[in-house]
Amino acid sequence: MQFSTLALATLASMASAQSVVTHVVTVGWNASLTYKPDNLKVNPGEMVQFQFVAGAHTVTQSTFDAPCQPISQHSNITGFHSGAQNVSASAASGMIPTYTIMVNNTNPIWVYCATGKHCENGMAMAINEPATNKTLVSYKTAAKDATTVVPGGASTGTGSGTGTGTTSGTGGTTGTTTAPSATTTAGAGILSAPLTYMLLAAAAAAFLL
Ligand SMILES: *[C@@H]1O[C@H](CO)[C@@H](O)[C@H](O)[C@H]1NC(C)=O
Ligand SMILES: *[C@@H]1O[C@H](CO)[C@@H](O)[C@H](O)[C@H]1NC(C)=O
Ligand SMILES: *[C@@H]1O[C@H](CO)[C@@H](O)[C@H](O)[C@H]1NC(C)=O
Ligand SMILES: *[C@@H]1O[C@H](CO)[C@@H](O)[C@H](O)[C@H]1NC(C)=O
Ligand SMILES: *[C@@H]1O[C@H](CO)[C@@H](O)[C@H](O)[C@H]1NC(C)=O
Ligand SMILES: [Cu+2]
């Protein structure tokens, strides 16, 4: 009992030392083709941490105009791609995969799952959806008639264009930071690799909070 209290106190202090706002998105929520939440407003300098809790999914960036396809095929942006994260494979070791991106500006970011036909079936999300008719709803409608393309043509690609930004503080705006994100991004204060693993126990502790 004392130990777990101490552990949670440590997590809490790491979170406040970090003071980078981290938005958590659950991938495979309720064992469904779902990013939850799927429509986020994120300020420049804030992080989005994808926590893969079920199934085998990816977090992959596209343009608005070409849903379910890598942004690199339709623009000069490299974009991010988590590669396929198979939760049951890593759960055996008591860990779940997490993938963290830093948002650098207010440009819309369109995210899809490159596994099978998940994107066609609605597994997509928006970060900073614009105030135009380019909505997440219209993205998902167009996705129904799209053909999913996996970056690099392999479901295990590691993508690029992410990962070395320093997690500099934003002045105590810790509103949405959670314990699990603190455990994966605190440490040295450097996001050395976007793909990390989080102890299932840490996730459980967060729910107890
Ligand atoms: C979770 O998935 C199950 C099985 O598909 C479904 O019956 C249930 O309604 C879902 N729960 C929520 C909260 O959507
Ligand atoms: C990438 O494309 C944008 C818009 O099409 C253009 O403004 C920019 O100069 C391009 N950047 C490079 C490095 O080619
Ligand atoms: C995920 O991993 C499990 C256990 O290794 C395996 O049985 C399953 O086929 C994998 N699923 C996918 C979609 O790769
Ligand atoms: C948005 O509106 C413009 C101008 O009316 C139209 O050309 C375009 O097709 C619309 N796009 C979507 C995704 O509805
Ligand atoms: C934000 O900038 C960092 C550092 O340049 C880069 O690694 C990362 O990919 C960028 N984030 C996005 C979503 O493009
Ligand atoms: Cu998926």
DSSP string, 88-115: HHHHTTTEEEEEEEE--SSS-EEEE--S
What is the predicted pLDDT for the residue at 201?
Answer: 60
Q: Which of 32, 33, 38 to probe ligand 1 with, by most ligand atoms within 8 A of CB?
A: 32
Whether the pTM exceeds 0.85: the reply is no
Nearest C-alpha neighbor of 64 from the set 146, 121, 156: 146
Nearest C-alpha neighbor of 177 from the set 112, 100, 104: 100
Instruction: Work out the mean pLDDT of the chain and round it to a whole number.
Output: 78
What is the predicted pLDDT for the residue at 199?
Answer: 82
Which residues, judged by CB distance below 6 Å to any ligand atom, belong to the binding site of ligand 1? 30, 32
Q: What is the chain's length?
A: 209
Phi-psi region of 207 (alpha: psi -120 to 50; beta: other; left: phi over 0): alpha
Q: At what angle do helices 2-18 and 200-208 cross, to 10 degrees?
A: 90
Beta 39-40 vs 124-127: how paired, if at all?
A: parallel
The sheet carrying 124-127 orders its strands as 39-40, 124-127, 109-112, 60-62
What is the predicted pLDDT for the residue at 18?
Answer: 56
What is the predicted pLDDT for the residue at 153?
Answer: 75
User: Can you tell me the mean pLDDT for 51-64?
Assistant: 97
What is the predicted pLDDT for the residue at 5?
Answer: 42
Check pocket membership of 156 for ligand 4, CB cut-off 6 A: no
pLDDT bin (cut points 50, 70, 90) of residue 89 is confident
Indicate if the pLDDT at residue 86 is higher than 80: yes
What is the predicted pLDDT for the residue at 121?
Answer: 98
Return d(Cα 51, Cα 27) in angstroms, integer: 6
What is the 200 CA–ligand 4 centroid distance (Å)? 44
Neighbours of 137 (CB within 10 A): 11
Please tell me which residue, 86 or 180, carries the higher pLDDT value: 86
How far are the Cα atoms of 100, 101, 131 from residue 165, in angstroms, in the given order? 11, 9, 28
Q: Kindly report, residue by residue over 133-168, the tens digit of the pLDDT.
A: 999 999 999 999 999 999 987 544 333 333 333 333
Please tell me which residue, 2 or 34, carries the higher pLDDT value: 34
Please tell me which residue, 202 or 7, carries the higher pLDDT value: 202
